[in-house]
């Protein structure tokens, strides 16, 4: 598996992996702290015949001021090893300065859908999600992008963005995977103690 950290290397790797556009490429966007839910998306994309790329980027613009950006779990070496084992061909690990360079002034927001449900209690969250996904799609230029059903509202936002902006990408949704105790798999589950998990 190739690991790239800058846009020129990403473009070169993409061209080589897709044989100049003859092979189909899928993207699995992640914030790292990978679990079986993420890896199932990689495997599903491979089974669908795609060359698979995954991004690992903890996106600061989707965290509120009192949320867990600074303590969000980060272990890129472990994540890359898991991706390689699952059959991922390319890992894209950009820096914040790559995703949001000086002078960056563009954001993407879906009216209505971004400010209800979770969006009502996390102002700006889905604007951050939509913006970073559009950036990742523009950088990687995949034929398909794979997301987990667990983040239902996020999936609806991304589908709306892709449709409204005529993005040439298929949005594929994988099923929610659960822990043995029935809890939906999530990178943040490690924050929970047994009492929290039982609620």
Domains of the chain (ranges; CATH) run 2-198 (3.40.50.620)
Measured between its terminal Cα atoms, the distance across the chain in Å is 40
pTM for the structure as a whole: 0.93
- Residue 21: pLDDT band (50, 70, 90) is confident
Of 35, 38, 50, 125, the catalytic one is 38
In the prediction, which pLDDT does 142 show? 98
**pLDDT band at residue 198 using 50, 70 and 90 as cut-offs:** low
Q: What are phi and psi of 44, to 5 degrees?
A: -65, -40
149 dihedral zone (left: phi>0; alpha: psi -120 to 50; beta):
alpha
Report d(CA 36, CA 52) in Å as an integer: 16
Query: Is 38 assigned a catalytic role?
Result: yes
| Tens-digit pLDDT profile for residues 97-156 | 999 999 999 999 999 999 999 999 999 999 999 999 999 999 999 999 999 999 999 999
């Amino acid at each position: 598996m190739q690991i790239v950290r800058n846009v020129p290397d990403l473009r070169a790797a993409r061209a080589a992996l897709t044989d100049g556009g003859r092979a189909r490429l899928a993207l699995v966007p992640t914030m790292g702290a990978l679990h079986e839910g993420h890896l199932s998306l990689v495997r599903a994309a491979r089974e669908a015949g795609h060359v698979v790329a995954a991004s690992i980027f903890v996106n600061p613009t989707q965290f509120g001021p009192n949320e867990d950006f600074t303590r969000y779990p980060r272990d890129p070496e472990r994540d890359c090893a898991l991706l390689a084992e699952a059959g991922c061909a390319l890992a894209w690990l950009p820096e914040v300065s790559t995703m949001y360079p000086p002078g960056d002034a563009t954001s993407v927001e879906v009216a209505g859908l971004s400010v209800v449900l979770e969006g009502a209690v996390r102002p700006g969250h889905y604007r951050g999600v939509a913006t970073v996904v559009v950036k990742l799609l523009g950088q990687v230029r995949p034929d398909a992008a794979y997301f987990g059903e667990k983040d239902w509202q996020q999936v609806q936002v991304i589908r709306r963005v892709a449709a409204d902006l005529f993005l040439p990408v298929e949005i594929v949704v994988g099923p929610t995977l659960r822990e043995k105790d029935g809890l939906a798999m999530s990178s943040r589950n490690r924050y929970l103690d047994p009492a929290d998990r039982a609620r």
